[in-house]
């Protein structure tokens, strides 16, 4: 998405067409890119008008290059504003029973996400129990039981009782008596947002009086997400959204619209089928990812808080450069930063995906090998943008031998550095003069 917007803006700033028709063509392309990423058309129209208005206000004072920066900044800022509801995320209290109810259609990922959240809180030293109030789907209790057992979480459910309201009430009562601090109630979902589902939801709600209701929203639903979230909001007034399946082909724009339409924040993101694939949500990071620019701001803040030596890299980056030397510094710092999983998710160039595929230990090993590879490069090679290797491929073989790795691994390093360099190029306009992200003071 980011690439298409950049291309559209780039065409505009380099074309010789008259301003007006150039702007129209560019706005059209940006709109199409956003629509194809599942952002609802109402928001696209607003965004378009906002760009037009702000461009007109600055019409004379600005060169085309400045307009380019301005447009990129507007797109970023407006999308962030759409998903940033300013609401405080729900915080369960210790030494008290916090009842959390999950709602959503069948297959959205409720049962999976319940377990993820249970484990998430258990790791944060809460006493957690799961209640299965899904009597609609055959095997629902077995699924929850299996998940819970595997994760070492207490659970409640029944093979014989058919009334989900009764199970929910009994389960919550039992866990409350035993002083459980987080009690998560999994409910059923029909294929559609049918009336019976909403009635059942309401009855369970009355029976257990949840402190928080979470809507599980499937990110692969695309444009439908907005209407879907609206319908559920009326029936259950959920307090936050758990956005699932963002690891697949989902583009995320649907979720942007769902948040905007219900003014309800996303609390968590599901990024895979495994119980550890749960992430907390931050608006800037989410939009940066949607635009394909990585969470540079988050990374910068984190890095600044660590007081690592990398002023040169940040300076290079904000000027649109990223050498192998910069890459070496970055990777070296990543090793110091830990926990790796958090950092990897902020990095572009597929590091987060790599993590998810092979796990933290294996990623550490691979990153160490990347460092060996760069240790085997000459000063001249490190200071370069990497082209020197394409021009003289024998260098790749030499480095592979010297570092005890393979040609493929060296090529991987070069590929990732190129990806970062390209990112530096494309975000150059967005970083502003002082090297800060747009929207930052």
Alpha-carbon distance of 314 to 234, in angstroms, equals 47
Which one of 111, 285, 318, 427 is in contact with Mg ion (CB under 5 A)? 111
Residues within window 232-261 making contact with ligand GDP, judged by CB under 6 A: 244-245, 247-248
Counting contacts by CB under 6 A, is residue 182 touching ligand GDP? no
Max Cα–Cα distance, the chain, nearest Å: 74
Q: Which residue is nearest to ligand GDP (CB)?
A: 270
**Residue 306 near residue 409 (C-beta atoms within 8 A):** no
**Residue 245 near residue 218 (C-beta atoms within 8 A):** yes
Residue 213 sits at the vertex; the CA angle it makes with 289 and 223, to the nearest 5 degrees, is 45
Candidate segments 109-117, 279-287, 299-307, 404-412, binder of Mg ion by CB under 5 A? 109-117
Residue 341, contacted partner among Mg ion, ligand GDP, none, CB below 5-8 A by kind: none
Rounded least distance, CB 272 to ligand GDP, Å: 5
Residue 22, contacted partner among ligand GDP, Mg ion, none, CB below 5-8 A by kind: none
Distances in whole angstroms, Cα of residue 23 to Cα of each of 9, 43, 55, 421, 432: 9, 19, 9, 28, 22
Which one of 22, 189, 222, 386 is in contact with ligand GDP (CB under 6 A)? 189
Q: How many C-beta neighbours within 10 Å does residue 357 have?
A: 11
**How many residues are given for the chain?**
441
**Residue 371 near residue 331 (C-beta atoms within 8 A):** yes
Counting contacts by CB under 6 A, is residue 273 touching ligand GDP? yes
Q: How many residues bind ligand GDP (CB under 6 A)?
A: 19
Rounded least distance, CB 278 to ligand GDP, Å: 8
Counting contacts by CB under 6 A, is residue 62 touching ligand GDP? no
**Residue 333 near residue 308 (C-beta atoms within 8 A):** yes
Pairing of strands 182-187, 128-133: parallel
**Residue 355 near residue 361 (C-beta atoms within 8 A):** no
Distances in whole angstroms, Cα of residue 338 to Cα of each of 86, 345, 346, 347, 350: 29, 12, 12, 13, 18
Alpha-carbon distance of 103 to 216, in angstroms, equals 6
Counting contacts by CB under 6 A, is residue 403 touching ligand GDP? no
Rounded least distance, CB 205 to Mg ion, Å: 17
Residue 43, contacted partner among Mg ion, ligand GDP, none, CB below 5-8 A by kind: none
**Residue 156 near residue 114 (C-beta atoms within 8 A):** no
For Mg ion, the closer of residues 110 and 228 by Cβ is 110
Candidate segments 43-51, 104-112, 210-218, 358-366, binder of Mg ion by CB under 5 A? 104-112
Rounded least distance, CB 140 to Mg ion, Å: 5
Residue 417, contacted partner among Mg ion, ligand GDP, none, CB below 5-8 A by kind: none
For ligand GDP, the closer of residues 352 and 438 by Cβ is 352
For ligand GDP, the closer of residues 27 and 214 by Cβ is 214
Interacting residues toward Mg ion by CB under 5 A: 110-111
Interacting residues toward ligand GDP by CB under 6 A: 104, 106-112, 189, 216, 244-245, 247-248, 270-273, 277
């Amino acid at each position: 998405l980011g690439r298409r917007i950049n291309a559209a803006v780039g065409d505009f700033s380099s074309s010789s067409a008259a301003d007006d028709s150039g702007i129209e063509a560019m706005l059209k392309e940006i709109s199409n890119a956003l629509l194809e990423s599942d952002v609802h058309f109402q928001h696209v129209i607003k965004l378009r008008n906002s760009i037009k208005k702000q461009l007109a206000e600055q019409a004379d004072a600005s060169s085309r290059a400045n307009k380019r920066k301005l447009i990129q900044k507007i797109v970023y800022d407006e999308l962030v504003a759409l998903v940033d509801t300013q609401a405080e995320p729900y915080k369960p209290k210790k030494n008290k029973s916090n009842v959390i109810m999950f709602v959503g259609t069948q297959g959205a990922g409720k049962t999976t996400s319940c377990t993820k959240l249970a484990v998430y809180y258990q790791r944060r030293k809460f006493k957690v129990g799961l209640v299965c109030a899904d009597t609609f789907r055959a095997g629902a209790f077995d699924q929850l039981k299996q998940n819970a057992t595997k994760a070492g979480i207490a659970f409640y459910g029944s093979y014989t009782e058919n009334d989900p309201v009764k199970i929910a009430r009994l389960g919550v009562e039992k866990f409350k008596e035993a002083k459980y601090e987080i009690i998560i109630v999994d409910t059923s979902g029909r294929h559609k947002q049918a009336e019976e589902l909403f009635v059942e939801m309401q009855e369970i709600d009355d029976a257990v009086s949840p402190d928080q209701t979470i809507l599980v929203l499937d990110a692969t639903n695309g444009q439908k997400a907005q209407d879907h979230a609206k319908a559920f909001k009326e029936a259950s007034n959920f307090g936050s959204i758990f956005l699932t399946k963002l690891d697949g082909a989902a583009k995320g724009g649907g979720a942007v619209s769902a948040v905007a339409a219900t003014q309800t924040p996303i609390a968590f993101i599901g990024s895979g089928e495994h119980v550890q694939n749960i992430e907390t949500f931050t608006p800037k990071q989410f939009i940066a990812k949607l635009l394909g620019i990585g969470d540079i701001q988050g990374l910068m803040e984190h890095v600044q808080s660590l007081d690592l030596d990398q002023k040169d890299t940040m300076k290079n980056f904000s000027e649109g450069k990223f050498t192998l030397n910069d890459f070496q510094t970055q990777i070296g710092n990543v090793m110091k930063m830990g926990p790796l999983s958090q950092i990897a998710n902020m990095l572009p160039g597929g590091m987060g995906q790599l993590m998810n595929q092979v796990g933290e230990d294996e990623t550490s090993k691979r990153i160490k090998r990347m460092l060996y590879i760069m240790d085997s490069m000459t000063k001249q090679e490190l200071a370069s943008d990497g082209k020197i290797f394409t021009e003289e491929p024998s260098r790749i073989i030499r480095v592979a031998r010297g570092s005890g790795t393979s040609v493929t691994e060296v090529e991987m390093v070069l590929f990732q550095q190129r990806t970062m360099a390209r990112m530096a190029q494309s975000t150059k306009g967005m970083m502003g003069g002082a090297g800060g992200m747009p929207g930052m003071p």
